[in-house]
Amino acid sequence: MKIGMELQPIFKDKTGIGWYTYNIIKEVIKLDKDNEFIGYGFNFAGRNNILPNIKDLNIEYDICKVIPYGLYSRLWDYIPIKYNNFFRNKADIYHFFNFIVPPNIGGIVIVTVYDVVYKRFPETMTKANFNRLEKNLQRSVDRADIIITISENSKKEIIEYLNVAEDKIRIIPIGIEIEKYRKKYSENEMIKVRKKYNIPNEYILYLGTLEPRKNIETIIDSYALYKKNGGNLKLVIAGKKGWMYDSILNRVKQYSLGDEVIFTGYVDEDDKACIYKMSSLFLFPSFYEGFGIPVIEAMAAGTPVITSNTSSLPEAAGDAAIFVNPKDINAIADSMLKIANNDYYKKELIIKGLKQSEKFSWEKSAEKLINIYNEFDKNIGMK
């Protein structure tokens, strides 16, 4: 079979959905020698900035250069042209990796839907992103023959909020590059990363986008209580600025923690594992996650984790983390002190975390995806 894979999510950068798309495509192509793969995307006027993100995927690609994706997505309800007619090479199956499926595809459709946070917590999203999903997601899942999601929790919510039949959904957990997080760093390598991001030798870490859903303000509140109760580690908040960022800075000023809280800004992918590994504990009390990949990354790096008892996070973390109510400042502060002051308990969490992280690799994720593709026979129908 010829399988078309949407490359649009990796044209801008390889973070978030782009990173997932890149890694799972790369691993599928490496493992699957029976099917044929082709990548599709829209790149008006053939801008060359997309090429570095796809050239090492080892995939044949067919890029439409006659219309930008943004314009196509606004007009596709009115354009009487099948999606596959924008490209020279046709596929039997089309897999869309970023929630949205255009109308009139011209083949079997698979879509990956990571979560339905826009339904659960609409206040945590920008208006533009909410409107995009509100307008398109229901229609997209209706158009799809199979929906892939990343956790049991997301599956339940897709059924509940989008009225999807259970037998239409498949689960593929997100993977990580385990060997990357297992790496042992030299002292010189760690010094270089500390200097680059202006971080101390020991610290409490949050790593992720700074946006309301990630509950950063509660992290600041809990950290202030941790300090008041005798904690002495600094707090490193690592990640790019999202929306409503100013309220986070105001919280730091409110507690006069300017010298204790360090904002690194965006962290290069090559530095993430080292930053996890050097931290004393990882704090991730997010309100909602479709999966919670930072929790697994931290565990793989040998860092104890405090995370929320909500959404898919217990599913991802297993028995290898401290779980807290994401609104409970006292519980979060107490958990930080417990890890900092109890070496035996800390070591126990680290051992459990290393074991838990081994359940999630891109190879395992890719094998599951290949099995889903192979649910269709060569005559393009369900077996």
Give the CA distances from residue 86 to residues 63, 65, 137, 139, 348, in Å, rounded to whole numbers and listed in that order: 9, 9, 22, 21, 55
Main-chain dihedrals φ then ψ at residue 212, nearest 5 degrees:
-55, -40
Instruction: Indicate the CATH number for domain 2-175+362-373.
Output: 3.40.50.2000
In the chain, CATH 3.40.50.2000 sits at 2-175+362-373, 178-357
Q: Which amino acid is at 157?
A: E
State the average pLDDT over residues 145-168.
97
pLDDT tens track for 259-295: 999 999 999 989 999 999 999 999 999 999 999 999 9
CATH 3.40.50.2000 for domain 178-357: yes
Q: Strands across the sheet with 169-171, in order? A: 60-64, 36-42, 2-6, 93-96, 108-112, 146-149, 169-171
Percent of the chain's residues with pLDDT above 90: 75
Report which of 273, 357, 283, 293 is spatially closest to residue 320, judged by C-alpha positions.
357
For residue 86, give the amino acid letter: F
Tens-place pLDDT, residues 217-267: 999 999 999 999 999 999 999 998 876 678 888 999 999 998 999 999 999
Whole-prediction pTM: 0.89
Alpha-carbon distance of 199 to 209, in angstroms, equals 18
